[in-house]
Amino acid sequence: MGRNPVTWLGSPTFPTAARTALADVQLRGNLAHATGTIRTKREAAVGELPDWERLRRAGEAIKDDVLSNLDVYLTRLEAAVTARGGVVHWARDAAEANEIVLGLVRAAGATEVVKVKSMATAEIGLNEALEAGGVSAIETDLAELIVQLGEDRPSHILVPAIHRNRSEIRDIFRATMPGASPSLSDRPAELAEAARAHLRRKFLSAQVAISGANFAVADTGSVVVVESEGNGRMCLTLPRTLITVMGLEKVVPSWRDLEVFLQLLPRSSTAERMNPYTSVWSGVTPGDGPREFHLVLLDNGRTATLADRVGRQALRCIRCSACLNVCPVYERTGGQAYGSVYPGPIGAILTPQLGAGTDDPGTASLLRSLPFASSLCGACYEVCPVRIDIPEVLVHLRGRVVAEKPAYAPEAVAMAAASWVMVSPRRFRFAQRLLGPLRLLARRGRVRRLPWPASLWTDSRDVPAPPRETFSAWWRRNRG
Amino acid sequence: MASSREVVLGRIRAALSDRPTAPEVPRDYDQTRALGDVIGLFAERAADYRALVRRVRWDDLPAEIESSLRARGATRLVAPADLPAVWRVPGVVWSLDAPAYPLPVRTLDRSDGVLTACAVAIAETGTIVLDAGEAQGRRVVTLVPDYHLCVVREDQVVGTVPEALASLEPTRPLTFISGPSATSDIELDRVEGVHGPRHLEVLIAG
């Protein structure tokens, strides 16, 4: 298998990227402000629903049912969409999905397409593939537009430009948006207005639109896009041809299941009771909206993820980004350090699974580092609307990484030594006595630096000073 | 060579070789809730999202529509062709739209607004839902104009999201609208007014 574009080529491992990100004071300030705002709002939005925990359990069970019978629901969806005038395509990987979409755009005779924000198309690098094929893709979501105009990379699932504050956004618009006023201010309303004016003409003349899907109902063929700005509605309604790229796991069995997700998703993501706009369509409706509808079902590592009994729960994800907003690691490093369109806690378990099997050594190192990009504090699990036990999957994936390491790796040698010491009470007591002198190095109860090779540990951590008396000595003295 | 469809389905079946059992979905979450005055709650929640909301008497509806349009200064209005004739108040140039004779997008773009009814409204979330049914028009009609005036009958207001979904036909084109167009893309704070109608006014008639 080749390289999966779910990670960015040439990205360093997480610790290296994190070190750079941590030095960026502006970035840390922007992230602390934005995630702090949304955390408070989310708590209020969730607190309003007395049945929130029951909704989470229902969401979890629906998604587990989907995963357990994925082939059944996908073929059912395919039949329902086809019966209503849509065309369903299956794509094994990113390259095949991109090829299908490019072929459809060419068949429609278009050289420009409008796009509504979609993680699936970001994951497969569709924009780059279209560009290589002579088609320009215009991102119409405000944050995606900021990233695209700034020739930047996304750093958040919901708000890809979260790392930019309002004055940085104003500067990007002034410098790159055709027709942007040089006196444009940094008031958010004025920035939104500038984006409206910039994209209006594009929407009204577009022939082809490309979207993702939040949900697709197997029974009825109804596809759902949840959004805020109305750029989604523009893309889903105005052009003649609509192409939707959807990860296999986005299917839900029945219409009724949406009553769960349309409550869980908005409150978890933008912390609203309901997002401004949700669009639902089934195939083609004569006289209303696109005349051609194509649904591309994307695998790209999902079936490989499904095969892992512990890791497969990552496929329950509905891309709300609540786990990013509560993660102490994400809040400090930002999303770009994860080297993927999927950052944060969910990215740390999704990216290594989707991208597994890469033959690029740099990418493989990045993927191995991601499950360690967490303190395992568990905040992500608590807020996850579909109860993905992210810490459990992180530990599972760490185990895989460690198991791949040779027996002479420093970590393995240290662990073997520790094990040799700890199996014998005599050796353990002796080792404890050896540690006593460490107290001499301690200042205010902490040892900040140890000589090599222990310096590998203390480079980024303090060691608590050993106590005056060990617990076993204390026990013998008092109770022995 | 196997088609991609067969390959992907084959991969799924291989991945599920441990035959995980599908759990029973617990449906013990609330279908309805004691929300008290749902009409009042809908009015409050829709206004929370910066929609302009007025409660009016059904019999006064034409006069109330007239006063809304006058306050807005709207003189060129778009409406679905099957809008009740009495709602097409005088003093306004009406352009009527239907699938059989669709208005050009330019006309929609140059209009001052659009008047429609809705299919159902959700009190708890302050949401109106359009299903392209009677007096609601094609989806584009309520999208391109900058001002959307929507009439909600009191008996169309339900309490919760599950109640609303149960009343809808899933194969119709549906649009759920909660306030005017907005974005949270700048510092994760909500700002009104991007691509959809920047002004949403709701008349609750009973």
Taking Cα atoms as reference points, which of A80, A79, A76, A84 lies closest to residue A285? A84
Last residue of a domain, one of A266, A287, A302: A302
Band (B1; pLDDT cuts 50, 70, 90): low
Task: Evaluate the CA torsion angle A119, A124, A125, A131 in order and state its sign.
Answer: negative
Q: How many CB atoms lie within 10 A of CB B27?
A: 14
pLDDT band at A473 (very low <50, low <70, confident <90, very high): confident
Q: What CATH number corresponds to the domain at position A297?
A: 3.40.50.10420
Q: How confident is the model over A435-440, as a mean pLDDT?
A: 82
CA distance B161 to B120: 11
Query: Are the Cβ atoms of B185 and A58 closer than 8 angstroms?
Result: no
Domain, as residue range, for A418 = 410-479
Residues A211 and A82 in one domain: yes
Mean pLDDT of A281-302: 97
Closest C-alpha to A290, from B171, B138, B107: B138
Q: Which positions ≥6 away from A306 have C-beta within 8 Å?
A: A67, A70, A312, A315, B12, B15, B16
Kindly tell me if the per-residue pLDDT of A452 is higher than 90: no
CA distances from B189 to A33, A34, B45, B184 (A): 10, 8, 18, 5
Class of domain B38-205: alpha beta
Q: Are residues A422 and A295 in the same domain?
A: no
Which residue of B lies nearest to A239 if distances are taken between CA atoms? Answer: B140
Tell me the pLDDT band of A2, cut-offs 50, 70 and 90: low
CB contact A96 to B (< 8 Å): yes
**Span B169-187, average pLDDT:** 93
Over residues A42-51, the pLDDT tens digits come to 999 999 999 9
* Overall average pLDDT of the A439-461 stretch: 84
B182 interaction partners in chain A (CB closer than 8 Å)? 228-229, 276
Does pLDDT of A314 surpass 90?
yes
Of the partner residues B25, B126, B185, the one whose CB lies closest to the CB of residue A61: B25
Tell me which residue in B29, B138, B170 faces A222 most closely, judged by beta carbons: B170
Q: Is the pLDDT of residue A142 over 90?
A: yes
Distance (Å, whole) CA A204 – CA A113: 12
* Secondary structure of residue A227 in the 3-state scheme: strand
Whether A392 is covered by a domain: the verdict is no
Residue of B nearest to A193 (CA): B194
Distance from the first to the final alpha carbon of chain A: 62
Mark which of A274, A302, A330 sits at the end of a domain.
A302
Give a yes or no: residue A393 inside a domain: no
pLDDT at A471 over 60: yes
Residues 299-318 of chain A whose Cβ lies under 8 A from any Cβ of chain B: 299, 303-304, 306-307, 309, 312
CA–chain centroid gap for A257, Å, is 23
* C-alpha to C-alpha distance for A121 and B198, rounded to whole angstroms: 28
Q: Which amino acid does the sequence have at A36?
A: G
pLDDT in tens, A185-210: 999 999 999 999 999 989 999 999 99
Judge: B8–A61 Cβ closer than 8 Å, yes or no: no
A440 falls in which pLDDT band (50, 70, 90)?
A: confident
Contact state of B140 with A238 under an 8 Å Cβ cutoff: yes
B29/A54 Cβ within 8 A: yes
pLDDT at residue B149 tops 80: yes
Alpha helices in A355-409 (DSSP H): 361-369, 379-383, 390-404
B103-143, pLDDT tens digit by residue?
999 999 999 999 999 999 999 999 999 999 999 999 999 99
Average pLDDT over residues A323-333: 96
Range from A65-79, A163-177, A432-446, B117-131 carrying the lowest mean pLDDT: A432-446
Please judge whether B4 and A58 are an interchain contact, meaning their C-beta atoms are less than 8 angstroms apart: no
Residue A401 covered by a domain? no
User: How many domains, in total, are found in chain A?
Assistant: 2
End of a domain among A302, A325, A360?
A302
Q: Summarize the confidence of residues B89-116 as an average pLDDT.
A: 96
Residue A225 has pLDDT above 90, yes or no: yes
Cα–Cα distance between B16 and A307 in angstroms, integer? 6
Does any domain span residue A31?
no
Residues A103 and A234 both lie in one domain: yes
| Contact between A230 and B170 using a beta-carbon 8 Å cutoff | no
Q: Which residue is closest to B30 within chain A, CA to CA?
A: A51
- Kindly tell me if the per-residue pLDDT of A1 is higher than 60: no
Give the SS3 label for residue A8.
coil
Q: List pLDDT tens digits, range A263-277.
A: 999 999 999 999 999
Of all residues in chain A, the percent with pLDDT exceeding 90 is 81
**pLDDT computed for residue A3 by the predictor:** 78
**Do A237 and A101 share a domain, yes or no?**
yes
Tell me: pLDDT of B189 over 80: no
The answer to whether residue A341 is domain-embedded is: no
Residue A21 domain-assigned (yes or no): no
Judge whether A249 is closer than 8 Å to chain B, CB to CB: no
Q: Predicted confidence band at A456 (pLDDT cuts at 50, 70, 90)?
A: confident
Same domain, A83 and A229: yes
Q: Is A300 exposed, middle or buried (0-12, 13-18, 19+ CB in 10 A)?
A: buried
Residues from chain B that touch A91, judged by Cβ atoms under 8 A, are 4, 8
Check whether residue A295 and residue A429 sit in a common domain.
no
Give CA–CA dist A248/A385, Å, rounded.
19
Q: Average pLDDT of A371-375? A: 96
State the pLDDT at residue A206: 94
Q: Which of A1, A193, A262 to mutate to test the interface with B (most CBs of B within 10 A)?
A: A262
DSSP annotation of B98 reads B
Nearest CB partner across the interface for A58, out of B17, B26, B140: B26
Q: Is residue A384 part of a domain?
A: no
A184/B contact by beta carbon, under 8 A: no
Closest to A163 measured CA to CA, from A20, A370, A294, A13? A20
The sign of the dihedral angle between the CA atoms of B157, B162, B168, B171 is positive
Angstroms from B80 CA to nearest CA on chain A: 12
Total Cβ atoms within 10 A of residue A53: 12
List the end-to-end C-alpha distance of chain B, in Å, as a whole number.
64
Q: Is A7 on the interface with B (CB under 8 A)?
A: no
Tell me the pLDDT tens digit for each residue of A12-56: 999 999 999 999 998 999 999 999 999 999 999 999 999 999 999
Q: Please compute the mean of the pLDDT values over residues A323-337 and round it to a whole number.
A: 96
> CA of A390 to nearest chain B CA: how many angstroms apart?
20
Among candidate residues A311, A319, A236, the one with its CA nearest the CA of residue A270: A319
Chain B contacts of A238, Cβ < 8 Å? Answer: 105, 140, 143
pLDDT reported for residue A391? 98
Kindly state the average pLDDT of the residues B16-35: 94
Q: How far apart are CA B23 and CA A33, in angstroms?
A: 40
Optimal mutation site among A274, A297, A353, A387, interface B, most CBs of chain B within 10 A: A274
Note if the pTM is more than 0.90. Answer: yes
**Do the domain assignments include residue A368?**
no
Contact A229, B195 (CB under 8 A): yes
